[in-house]
Amino acid sequence: MSAITLVLLAFTSVSSGLLLDGIPSQEELHSDATLQLLLSEVTRLSNELKEAQGKINTLDNQVDKLTNKDRDIAFFAYLGPDMVNPSSGTTIVFNEPMTNSGNDYDPQHGVFTASVNGTYNFHLVAASPENSDPSHQFHLYITKNKPGSYVSYGWLDRTTDHWVQTSASAVLHLLQGDRVWVEVGLVLGSHTLAGHNDNRAHTYWSGFLIHAD
């Protein structure tokens, strides 16, 4: 065999080896295909999990709404002793609750705090006895969240020889955590807010949930 023939055979052998090294084996091809299938399955399961979680969240919200619609929230409370000359900005604490379903009303501080989103009704009745100061003025505000930001009010003004009574109401949409109370507004002269005496409740405050969102 000539030297040229030997060189050609060697070149052919090396070239064939190089070409074969560049082609993936059957095992490698099978491994890549399996990996792609696994990745595809993981993606599919992940999407299904996200969809299921979304449905669970929707159901949770629906359950919360149904639960809130059945909530019993209502209060009715008297003012205890008379309040003599309370200053402007004072919160009226109706510290004798007769009803407090849901415990959203705080009889220690006089503040109602909504536990659920919804529409609520509030009603105030206030009374004052005879007053020797003919120029006195005394206003009471139904206030929401911020002192001085009243939504309704009543007044007990310029009465001298007889008792006087006033009332105020409000229907409010509240979010969970919103607060409502009665505070003293405009004040001029001397005045007395009549409390619970002689077995009679002269000043009282009530509220209830009309319907939850």
The pTM of the full predicted model, rounded to 2 decimals, is 0.67
Least confident piece of the model among 10-24, 91-105, 124-138, 159-173: 10-24
Contacts by residues 90-99 (CB-CB < 8 Å, ≥ 24 positions apart): 90/183, 90/184, 91/181, 91/182, 91/183, 92/140, 92/181, 92/182, 92/183, 92/184, 92/193, 92/203, 92/205, 94/182, 94/203, 94/204, 94/205, 96/196, 96/201, 99/74, 99/75, 99/206
- How does the average pLDDT of the chain come out, rounded? 84
At 57 the pLDDT is 83
